[in-house]
Chain A
Amino acid sequence: MNLLRKNDLIMLGLSLVIFAILQVLITTKVLTSFWELNLIIIGINVIMAVSLNLINGYTGQFSLGHAGFMAVGAYTGVVMTTFFHLPFIVAIIAGAVLAGLLGFLIGLPTLRLRGDYLAIATLGLGEIIRIVIMNLDYVGGAAGFKGITHHTNFAWVFLIMLFTLFVIKNFVNSSHGRACIAIRENEIAAEAMGINTTKYKVMAFTIGAAFAGVAGCLFGHNFYIISPGSFTFLASFNYLIMVVMGGLGSITGSIAGAFVVTFISAVLAPWPEFRMIIYALALILLMFYRPQGLFGYMEVTSMGIFRRIFKRGHES
């Protein structure tokens, strides 16, 4: 327990150093606004990937509707700031609550389904959310929601990303998290151990959806307009790819996956015709040589890093 806390503190310290360096680079314009934007998108994608990983990787429930919850968070958020002139943080909380509530309501009936049935159901529900928004004139319909005040910046995204990682990491390491992993490993055995499988599946789904709402709210306030077209099932697939690429059941993996996928698209932006080819090739190669993802179930911890450095130093 003590070790865990120490680990957390070191990681927090490291993250804040990274944050400070990046923030300085941004304010001194060493990093161009193009890269600042990409850092923001990486942060949002990390939140999306980690929250999806809680559902797909840790609890083993194959969800394909994550962009739908992101859309709920985004639209709730922009309505709060634009129509009701509420502070950004209130909008973020409202987005999380509404997306989480929807996750709960959707999860309760659909999580009885297994495997591909659940995937199809969540895919459909994600699309339903998008189509409902598209037909709501109140939020601009298919043309999108215009006139949003720009609130999202690197600091907001980074700090909220840290908060998300902290919450999900602690959830996964708690007895609730153990229950979720047990469900992934063997649902019948988990039930036989006295784990209320429905409760924990819905719990993971709700938390995952709530953080997708948070990410959506950050995403919504990053541009001056949002449209339902940003939340299609292709977006859900994209987040799933990040999770699978990084490793189902590894938080470090989801961070890496979100980073790699976003970085590749950013670097290849000038050559859009090659982008999808290289992207697809990278995925095929990964699945051939490392089907468990970049990290598998492994986590990178500060203690692990130190131990490794220390060992290396010892040998040389």
Chain B
Amino acid sequence: MGTMLTINDINVFYGAIHAIKGVSLEVNEGEIVTLIGANGAGKSTILRTISGLLKPKTGSIQFEGQEIAGMPAHEIVKTGISQVPEGRRIFAEMSVLENLELGAFTRKDKDGIKADMELVFERFPRLKERIGQLAGTLSGGEQQMLAMGRALMSRPRLLLLDEPSMGLAPLLIKEIFTIIQDINKTGTTVLLVEQNANMALSIAHRAYVLETGRITLSGDAKELAASDEVRKAYLGG
């Protein structure tokens, strides 16, 4: 199990605002790594920088040995990274099927796409039931499933998940997190950004704690969950 993603000392700015201050992190092949932290700590910014929606001012991001910092987002998808954006961002006026088809936009292998579509439907049977329905009419949980299914359609080796629990009922959050674990077990490496630190630490192998643009803690997820510092700040005692 080698290192899949290496971020080395990146700095990201929103105009004059210095959002990410020299962050370095690593994701190994086969892991679930989670990035936790309070609102505005910069968790989503890091994900958006990896997927190319934002460009780092300095620093390097290497994916499987290839430098991807500064590459346009649509090129990064082709290297094998897929993002489930925050707030799901499904294509509301398109059907479930069309959303999934767009997930495979960069692929040309029709048989492979068909097979992966079946896998997505196996993982999310509810999407199959609603295959012809407009995505905007799905419930919040179903939309999250669609966003995840859509991201899987590009057959990523690294899946970036941005707040998958946002706005969902506790029972649904559990379901979603079980699915994330399943996806990981079938060979997809996961980088998970969450505000729900409890849930995130319970399924992750390793974790990084982010505070106002800097990584303050990192290590084994179970150990972090047990540490006083994290418990006080993020787990409510």
Contacts and interface: CB of A to CB of B under 8 A. Distances in A.
Nearest to B82: A192
Interface of A is mostly: helix
- Interface size class on chain B is 20 to 34
B200 interface: no
A165 to B, nearest CB: 22
Interface stretch (A135-143, A177-185, A255-263, A269-277): A177-185
B105 A194 contact: yes
Interface in B120-171: 150-151, 154
Interface string A155-195: 00000000000000000000100110110011011111111
A52 to B, nearest CB: 19
A97 to B, nearest CB: 28
Nearest to A184: B93
Category for how many chain A residues contact B: 10 to 19
Interface stretch (B9-17, B72-80, B181-189): B72-80
B102 A192 contact: no
Given A189-B85, A297-B93, A195 B105 contact: yes
A196 B77 CA distance: 11
A193 B102 contact: yes
A242 to B, nearest CB: 21
Contacts of B233: none
Contacts of A249: 93
Contact of B78 (A191, A192, A194, A297): A194
A104 B77 CA distance: 26
Contacts of A182: 91, 94, 102, 105
A191 B53 contact: yes
B77 A193 contact: yes
A272 B92 CA distance: 43
B85 A192 contact: yes
B90 A194 contact: no
Contact of A181 (B83, B91, B154): B91
Interface in A208-249: 249
Contacts of B72: 196
A182 B103 CA distance: 11
Interface string B53-94: 100000000000000000011100110001101000111111
Contact of A192 (B51, B92, B93): B51
Given A181-B94, A185-B94, A194 B106 contact: yes
B73 A191 contact: yes
A64 to B, nearest CB: 23
Interface string B100-117: 011101100000000000
Contacts of B83: 192
B90 A189 contact: yes
Nearest to A196: B74
Nearest to B153: A193
B211 interface: no
B29 interface: no
A196 B90 CA distance: 17
A56 to B, nearest CB: 15
B14 to A, nearest CB: 15
Contacts of B103: 193
A123 to B, nearest CB: 27
Contacts of A179: 102, 105
Select the residue from B78, B92, B94, B101 with max chain A CB neighbours within 10 A: B94
Contact of A189 (B91, B101, B106, B154): B91
Contacts of A195: 74, 102, 105
Interface in B196-236: none
A188 B102 CA distance: 13
A190 B51 CA distance: 12
20 contacts: A175-B105, A181-B94, A182-B91, A182-B102, A182-B105, A185-B93, A186-B90, A186-B91, A191-B53, A191-B74, A192-B53, A192-B73, A192-B85, A193-B103, A193-B106, A193-B150, A193-B154, A194-B73, A195-B102, A196-B74
Interface of A: 175, 178-179, 181-182, 185-186, 188-197, 249, 297
Given A186-B92, A189-B85, A195-B105, 16 more contacts: A178-B101, A178-B105, A182-B94, A185-B94, A186-B89, A189-B90, A191-B53, A192-B53, A192-B77, A192-B82, A193-B77, A193-B102, A193-B103, A193-B150, A193-B154, A194-B78
